Amino acid sequence: MGARENKDTPVLSVRNLKQHFKSGFGKNKLVVKAVDGVSFDIYKGEVFSLVGESGCGKTTTGRTVIKLYQPTDGEVYFLGKRISAGYEGLKQEIKDIKRDTKAKLAELKESGASEEEISRVQDEKNERISEIKAEIKLRKEQTADEDIEHMKNMQMIFQDPIASLNPRMVVKEIIAEGLRIANVKDKDVINDRVNEMLETVGLVREHASRYPHEFSGGQRQRIGIARALAVSPEFIIADEPISALDVSIQAQVINLLNDLRDEFGITIMFIAHDLSVVKYFSDRIAVMYYGKLVELASKEELFKNPLHPYTKSLLSAVPVPDPIHEKTRQRIVYDPSMHNYEVNGPELHEITPGHYIYANEAELKEYKKEMTK
């Protein structure tokens, strides 16, 4: 998904990722499809932004990628290794095989089939189920083995700078925690690294002995960034890191992340709903709606040629610092009932190089016409 012309190996590859949550019991059981079949690639050194309204599945995607959640289905590859894989779909496949085989055996017995034929069907069922169970076991074992290395190379900056910092730990311990988990024992090395990270994010060494409640919101977020950087990760997931901050502080944090990307070559997955910030900060943008990616393109292409009605709706809501324009600005309201997927279901299609759109065949034709106008 979203492969670039130079065909670099992605830092992160997400394939058909699903994260479903169940609530209730028996007939009242409800399944919430927070993420439902998302696929994309993120390449070294870029900022890949995931945008959409609250509740669309952005944060859940990020938390599933970093293994705070076990995925329901799909796979996540990081630096060429599978670090996470769901297996609920495989479990369902076993149930389907048993059900279908039971029905087939009933038909064979009713038609007077030979014992050899019946035995062959049963053997095929058992063989296929054994293969699926072996794959489930492999997924569990492989992804468990990758946890420590995965933790070193992938870090997360959380949305709430207050809730994400332990109020009972001083800043030094908060930043050093990842180093200790990574088996760094030397106290001098830890102290030097903590001081280096504090200075990198614009704080001073004296802050190391203070508690989180002694800092402003912007300073707390800087501590969160320092904690993420301490183990020298190659990839950072920034989950709406500026949404809880004042506008002036937002600019400081964004500029800091930009500087860190330039200095350390860090790849960033930036989760946000503020499209004006995303436009400034991103290389490529993926738009999410109701657990699915509906459009993916470079920032220039997305803002110049938005195709999906939901993307157009989001862009129409971006405020402009011009009172005259604001008086005449026309909001576009997105109505999901406009799509008719009863006969022909939608998929993510590459409509032009690097520009993907979630549509069925009929819609794809209309989008192609729109692009030629």
pLDDT single digits (tens) 157-213: 998 888 889 999 999 999 999 888 888 889 999 999 999 999 988 899 999 999 999
- Rounded Cα–Cα distance for residues 304 and 347 (Å): 23
Total domain count for the chain?
2
According to DSSP, residue 167 is labeled T
Instruction: Please say which residue of 145, 177, 211 terminates a domain.
Output: 145
Instruction: Please say which residue of 145, 161, 183 terminates a domain.
Output: 145
364 falls within a domain: yes
Give pLDDT, residue 306. 93
pLDDT single digits (tens) 302-329: 999 999 999 999 998 887 777 887 788 8
218 falls within a domain: no
298 falls within a domain: yes
Does the pLDDT of residue 66 top 50, yes or no?
yes
Does the pLDDT of residue 106 top 50, yes or no?
yes
Count CB neighbours of 304 within 10 A.
9
CA atoms within 13 A on the CB side of 104: 14
96 falls within a domain: yes
102 falls within a domain: yes
Domain around 360: 290-372
82 falls within a domain: no
105 falls within a domain: yes
Instruction: Please say which residue of 97, 124, 145 terminates a domain.
Output: 145
261 falls within a domain: no
Does the pLDDT of residue 371 top 60, yes or no?
yes
